[in-house]
Chain A
């Protein structure tokens, strides 16, 4: 065996990456085999060779012979930048990568590598949170499949930019036809300026905006109602009553992170008041899961419901509209009336008529200027598909000589665009990876990743977000704006002191925003907003109402929705977003046909059955997922899947799900995501599909895990929901005294936790939690340190309704609400019901509760007692410490954990061809947090309360000769929570937020009767029913 082969890399330059990024084999003690297994350098072949030789015995001699210590290099800077202290992170204000319209964030940078996004808490308007996709999109920077430089069709290697520019300029200037620029409806002022410059040179230029998800219903309606084609800004914090018709504003609708923050401000009952939220929807969305009153409807009928509400509110109309069960519209109307000026009605329909009616209702309720701001309107996602369709139609006639796509990917998300694009001879793209559109481009002016770029974005009118490069370009890309300018013939080469993009951006800033550019990028946000005005509504609703009423109700409808994790699919190549379980269905890695229980029962479908879904626009084969809460006769498929990724991608991201964008119904002149005329047939003989699902049991089994109370009860008694008779645990010994020093604790408000799962991804990135892929999730081995438990309960029939006495586990008569297994009771009820057609309708009415669950850091931790080698012990600060390097992997602690929050490294997840995600390539490893050990296989891991942050903060305080400031820092989950549901701090600091919450009447411990004394408090969920 060649020892040189083994260690050769160490001397090589590339290997310096390794020490930067790879903490791969942190466990250096023990027998050498493990080290051989985990040697970063060794390819698989080498590993096998090794065993071969070792088995032969002679290899051992060879190995013994090469008795020289391996050399590790330490390479200092040649010229150290002033502000970089190795080992200390820097934070740069920037803009989130996944929100193309601009969203303020901080980027944590260690030694020149951005390693994590953190919310910019000073940008209060945006809420100070971040979502899961926003976090996971950092991996797009470290994507090994990024384009390496300017590409020309027919050549496999990048070409020089000068040659590239020459070629492009020649093509652009010789064409006599129109040049089209397809943007992503960008709010980037830099790009817009560049387009303007480009247009000045090429006057035959047309600009068309394209976005995969359309909100044209709103823009058109506002144009008709108020004369401005905009999406308004919604201010949920001002709304005491929110009525949403199919708008998933907490999950995917327009700007969910901001909405989260605003919405949650009114969700904590203060002085007996909290907002009331009605949700009328067909699929079970994240928003619906958090609603106080959720009413299952069909989206094809949403108009009629709006009409009914309009009428109830006193709108003059001869038509009744459609009432739903339990007079929900009447209740909603009553609540809205009571909250005049503090009400908000929104609708997720993309139909202009529906939205005009919504505008009419909001005008009646006086929402403008209060909950809706149309002056400082939202500028993102306002592309109208009408324009793009016109462009495509024109392109098909061969009217365009060239097209430049700026960060838009219509070939993926728009069915007809590929054929139209093919008619344009010169197709230039500025993509950074080879996507469906750039794949067919003739020229790719490879752009820069947003984290490598300067940019100014204006997501809301008057609010400017700044991006600055936090890493030097990984590959030879060029800023898209610079490319556009270069195409006009201007030299965009970086000058001696400044890059072109920097100068260009600064010019945009000084010409249209202000003077102090440095301060602007330091803060990351400049706000310069106007006072909101109330627009005058000038539409007569009569004809609209009669048109809406004339709509035919569809028997079955297919709803194309977005998932919270993946959204529109633009960042389909970031595995974290896919491994994050869907907040409602808890499915990872897949899209599927979600069906109502009643439909599943009626058609004999079961979880995982493969069905063929056919509409006028195509036929797809998908597995079935039964979704409680979904309306009967509705079916849902998530968009954003079925991405065509570069052939190098061979992990679970490859061929992931089905791309159902072609199913979007464009017939009526707008993108309708509710498709009628769908037939679904079970594919006979197809094997059952197994989902990677992180929670398979729906019911809470009537257990005292989530405590809830109605607002009425809570007003009478602040301890409502807590009066459960529990034996008082006694102890044989005096407990350890944690009153000295720090005692770290956490509180989670289940009223504000929406289950959005941003914390899961934030935690995974902060703590180097590996991605395990679908197959391992199927085996129930996801590694997330924090999970969000989601439980359904039926808005149950009372005992009287049931009129069934079901004996279960002894002779206990089961009563609704305190069943041992509510599911079983309901099942029995359904089977006993005579009317089979409606037997399972009760599945439409479910309540949802979300409960984040992580290591509870029990003071009397059962896991600690059972570890034979003291790998898990308690610190005097109340932390349950997991010492990976001491762990031998008996897994006893995991078994004995009542909360089941311990995660075991079943395999070696880094440097493993079976888990070919970012941990397994040198570039992807750049994202590893160097302050946290990467765990080897065979050890247990779990939430550490971000002990690296605790230690770092304590150390800073000690160094600065001071005490830790109250709430000086927080954990990764708490920090990113868009609704501030998680609070972390020192219980011994009486002024801290956490100490206050511990004294709150709503607070309780999960499973407190076990006497394990957790350090995580939950606050009773109050429902405003």
Chain B
């Protein structure tokens, strides 16, 4: 008989299968609480901001942003990389931790995967709407056309992005959905209204928990996890290639792929922590998301934060050692130039702040973890800002050096994506089980 080799029970409170089902289905089967409505309204409000600012951008032109002749990417691509990065933790938690048989993942992977998908939604907005002619957004797809046919450029990292992001989104969706099917079936079988019976029945695809199905299911989940792992690494590698394959000093760096991946995991875990700590508090899931989970995640944050920190320093040393004046200047400019504030914010948030997790107290105190997780999110946004804007604003020819500050439209779009993200998340929390019931039931009896 296989027993997970863990020190403490991952589910507290002596829950039975029934308790698990009841606890997790409660928000779905009951009317939403006032706090849900409040949060949802705020999110929808922000979503309207997104709609408004995007409409304005399309109506007037990208000129409504403050990007200029030298800094042609600003907040848009910063936000894109930020959101894609956040997305990574979800896949990582469910796929990589599955491969490593880390059972503590089980109560958090569902929401982490949901976060992935919503974050990729948010991310996808930016490359689409940063285009001058968004209505031609389908042109990067290799479709036959009446131009002869004119195809696409397989040399372009942006095209790789198109493939990577769409693959990532669809595979993540499939993975997430696959995991949801047994739980949807559970809700279906508990349904007391026709609508619920119909819709959950529709999405449950006739699942009935047959042992044959479970056998195949486990194999499929394992293989999906197996291919999702290189996928998730490849996606941020390819995103980093947007920069790494260019010639701009500060971008043209071979360290970018691992550095971006570590940063993505780092920021993703930050976001997962932020969300889980809220969900845990609001939905009373303390028994499922225990301090064991929090501690494990803070350790990952500590690790990846340090990897990112090493990358920062490595980058710097390489620049200094390169003997290449443009590269040297680019990094000196990051530290002491007009955007030094962004650089030092990034250094503080990403390198220094996570180091507090060496302390056990810090790793197990939810409010403190929450604060640090926010700091990590801010830091990782600034990392992308530093990479994109400070590299572009002073590159090779000093004649083209410029400053860049966002307009209200750019800020509005960024805030708006939070609206989209949280709208999706609130709907998810209302209509789907936030914790993977089937998996949690398997570890309910796993003891020390």
Instruction: State the CA gap A810–B324 with chains docked (Å).
Output: 13
Instruction: State the CA gap A936–B153 with chains docked (Å).
Output: 23
Interface presence of A890 (CB below 8 A): yes
Interface stretch (choices B128-136, B211-219, B285-293)? B128-136
Interface presence of A787 (CB below 8 A): yes
Instruction: State the CA gap A661–B10 with chains docked (Å).
Output: 85
Instruction: State the CA gap A889–B76 with chains docked (Å).
Output: 13
Interface presence of B156 (CB below 8 A): yes
Interface residues of B in 56-84 (CB under 8 A from A): 59-63, 66-70, 72-73
Interface residues of B in 221-253 (CB under 8 A from A): 242, 245-248
Q: Which of A787, A870, A891, A895 contacts B132 (CB 8 A)?
A: A891
Please indicate the chain B residues that have their CB under 8 angstroms from the CB of A809 in the complex. 320, 328-329, 331-332, 336
Task: Please encode chain A, from 870 to 902, with 1 for each CB lying within 8 Å of some chain B CB and 0 for all others.
Answer: 100000000000000011111110111011101
Task: Please encode chain A, from 709 to 720, with 1 for each CB lying within 8 Å of some chain B CB and 0 for all others.
Answer: 000000000000
**Are A938 and B70 within 8 A (Cβ)?**
no
Please indicate the chain B residues that have their CB under 8 angstroms from the CB of A1006 in the complex. 397
**Are B401 and A696 within 8 A (Cβ)?**
yes
Interface residues of A in 761-795 (CB under 8 A from B): 776, 779-782, 787, 789-791
Interface presence of B157 (CB below 8 A): yes
Shortest beta-carbon distance, A900 to chain B, in Å?
4
**Are A820 and B329 within 8 A (Cβ)?**
yes
Most buried by A among B137, B152, B162, B325: B325
Interface residues of A in 17-33 (CB under 8 A from B): 27, 29-31, 33
Please give me the residue from chain A that is nearest to B153 by CB atom. A870
**Are B132 and A898 within 8 A (Cβ)?**
no
Instruction: State the CA gap A125–B447 with chains docked (Å).
Output: 100
Interface stretch (choices A158-166, A698-706, A959-967)? A698-706
Known A779-B66, A865-B245, A868-B162; contact A892-B156, beta-carbon cutoff 8 A:
yes
Interface presence of B139 (CB below 8 A): yes
Interface presence of A903 (CB below 8 A): yes
Instruction: State the CA gap A605–B203 with chains docked (Å).
Output: 70
Interface presence of A830 (CB below 8 A): no
**Are B131 and A889 within 8 A (Cβ)?**
yes
Instruction: State the CA gap A702–B395 with chains docked (Å).
Output: 14
Interface presence of A554 (CB below 8 A): no
Interface residues of A in 749-770 (CB under 8 A from B): none
Q: How many A-B residue pairs have CB under 8 A?
A: 186
Instruction: State the CA gap A866–B161 with chains docked (Å).
Output: 11
Interface presence of B296 (CB below 8 A): no
Please give me the residue from chain B that is nearest to A776 by CB atom. B63
Interface presence of A862 (CB below 8 A): yes
Most buried by B among A820, A896, A937: A896
Please indicate the chain B residues that have their CB under 8 angstroms from the CB of A779 in the complex. 66, 68
Instruction: State the CA gap A867–B151 with chains docked (Å).
Output: 12
Please indicate the chain B residues that have their CB under 8 angstroms from the CB of A113 in the complex. none
**Are A900 and B398 within 8 A (Cβ)?**
no
Please give me the residue from chain A that is nearest to B325 by CB atom. A703
**Are A906 and B156 within 8 A (Cβ)?**
no
Shortest beta-carbon distance, B319 to chain A, in Å?
9
Shortest beta-carbon distance, B338 to chain A, in Å?
11
Shortest beta-carbon distance, A779 to chain B, in Å?
6
Shortest beta-carbon distance, A688 to chain B, in Å?
14
Instruction: State the CA gap A889–B135 with chains docked (Å).
Output: 11
**Are B139 and A888 within 8 A (Cβ)?**
yes
Instruction: State the CA gap A892–B242 with chains docked (Å).
Output: 9
Q: How many residues of B are in contact with the other chain, CB < 8 A?
A: 58
Most buried by B among A776, A868, A896, A900: A868
**Are B398 and A791 within 8 A (Cβ)?**
yes
**Are A868 and B158 within 8 A (Cβ)?**
yes
Known A894-B72, A903-B69; contact A866-B157, beta-carbon cutoff 8 A:
yes
Please indicate the chain A residues that have their CB under 8 angstroms from the CB of B68 in the complex. 779-781
Interface presence of A298 (CB below 8 A): no
Instruction: State the CA gap A781–B68 with chains docked (Å).
Output: 5
**Are B150 and A810 within 8 A (Cβ)?**
no
Most buried by B among A780, A787, A790: A780
Known A695-B399, A809-B329, A900-B395; contact A939-B159, beta-carbon cutoff 8 A:
no
Interface residues of A in 677-703 (CB under 8 A from B): 695-697, 699-703
Known A887-B132, A888-B136; contact A780-B247, beta-carbon cutoff 8 A:
no
Instruction: State the CA gap A707–B133 with chains docked (Å).
Output: 40
Main secondary structure of the interface of B (DSSP, over half): loop
**Are B70 and A900 within 8 A (Cβ)?**
yes
Instruction: State the CA gap A895–B401 with chains docked (Å).
Output: 12
**Are A939 and B133 within 8 A (Cβ)?**
yes
Shortest beta-carbon distance, B265 to chain A, in Å?
26
Q: Which of B133, B246, B325, B401 contacts A820 (CB 8 A)?
A: B325
Instruction: State the CA gap A702–B150 with chains docked (Å).
Output: 44
Please indicate the chain B residues that have their CB under 8 angstroms from the CB of A776 in the complex. 63
Task: Please encode chain A, from 921 to 951, with 1 for each CB lying within 8 Å of some chain B CB and 0 for all others.
Answer: 0000000000000001111100000000000
Please give me the residue from chain A that is nearest to B399 by CB atom. A789
Known A781-B68, A888-B132, A906-B62; contact A868-B398, beta-carbon cutoff 8 A:
no
Interface presence of B155 (CB below 8 A): yes
Task: Please encode chain B, from 131 to 147, with 1 for each CB lying within 8 Å of some chain A CB and 0 for all others.
Answer: 11111110110000001
Shortest beta-carbon distance, A469 to chain B, in Å?
40
Known A780-B69, A866-B245, A895-B73; contact A697-B156, beta-carbon cutoff 8 A:
no
Please indicate the chain B residues that have their CB under 8 angstroms from the CB of A865 in the complex. 153, 155-156, 245
Shortest beta-carbon distance, B79 to chain A, in Å?
15
**Are B398 and A699 within 8 A (Cβ)?**
yes
**Are A868 and B67 within 8 A (Cβ)?**
no
Interface presence of A829 (CB below 8 A): no
Shortest beta-carbon distance, A784 to chain B, in Å?
10
Interface presence of B402 (CB below 8 A): yes
Interface presence of A34 (CB below 8 A): yes
Interface presence of A908 (CB below 8 A): yes
**Are B72 and A904 within 8 A (Cβ)?**
yes
Interface presence of B272 (CB below 8 A): no
Interface presence of B167 (CB below 8 A): no
**Are B132 and A939 within 8 A (Cβ)?**
yes
Please indicate the chain A residues that have their CB under 8 angstroms from the CB of B130 in the complex. 890-891
Q: Which of A888, A892, A899 contacts B397 (CB 8 A)?
A: A899
Interface presence of A1 (CB below 8 A): no
Interface presence of B400 (CB below 8 A): yes
**Are B392 and A820 within 8 A (Cβ)?**
no
Known A888-B140, A898-B396; contact A870-B150, beta-carbon cutoff 8 A:
yes
Please indicate the chain B residues that have their CB under 8 angstroms from the CB of A902 in the complex. 69
**Are A782 and B69 within 8 A (Cβ)?**
yes
Interface residues of A in 583-622 (CB under 8 A from B): none
Interface presence of A10 (CB below 8 A): no
**Are A869 and B139 within 8 A (Cβ)?**
yes
Interface presence of A1007 (CB below 8 A): yes
Instruction: State the CA gap A894–B398 with chains docked (Å).
Output: 16
Please indicate the chain A residues that have their CB under 8 angstroms from the CB of B246 in the complex. 862, 866, 895-896
Shortest beta-carbon distance, B388 to chain A, in Å?
9
**Are A870 and B152 within 8 A (Cβ)?**
yes
Q: Which of B63, B70, B134, B151 contacts A780 (CB 8 A)?
A: B70
Instruction: State the CA gap A509–B306 with chains docked (Å).
Output: 87
**Are A867 and B156 within 8 A (Cβ)?**
yes
Interface residues of A in 637-693 (CB under 8 A from B): none
Interface presence of A46 (CB below 8 A): no
Please give me the residue from chain B that is nearest to A1012 by CB atom. B247
A and B contact pairs by CB, cutoff 8 A, 27 listed: A30-B136, A34-B135, A37-B59, A697-B394, A703-B326, A705-B396, A705-B398, A776-B63, A810-B320, A853-B397, A865-B156, A868-B152, A869-B153, A886-B150, A888-B131, A890-B131, A891-B67, A891-B72, A892-B72, A894-B72, A899-B396, A900-B69, A900-B396, A900-B400, A907-B61, A937-B61, A937-B63
8 shortest interchain CB distances as A-B pairs = A889-B132, A938-B132, A906-B63, A809-B332, A789-B399, A900-B400, A891-B72, A780-B68
Interface contacts beyond A699-B398, A705-B397, A891-B72: sample of 6 additional A-B pairs, CB < 8 Å, sorted by A: A866-B157, A869-B152, A892-B158, A894-B72, A898-B396, A908-B61
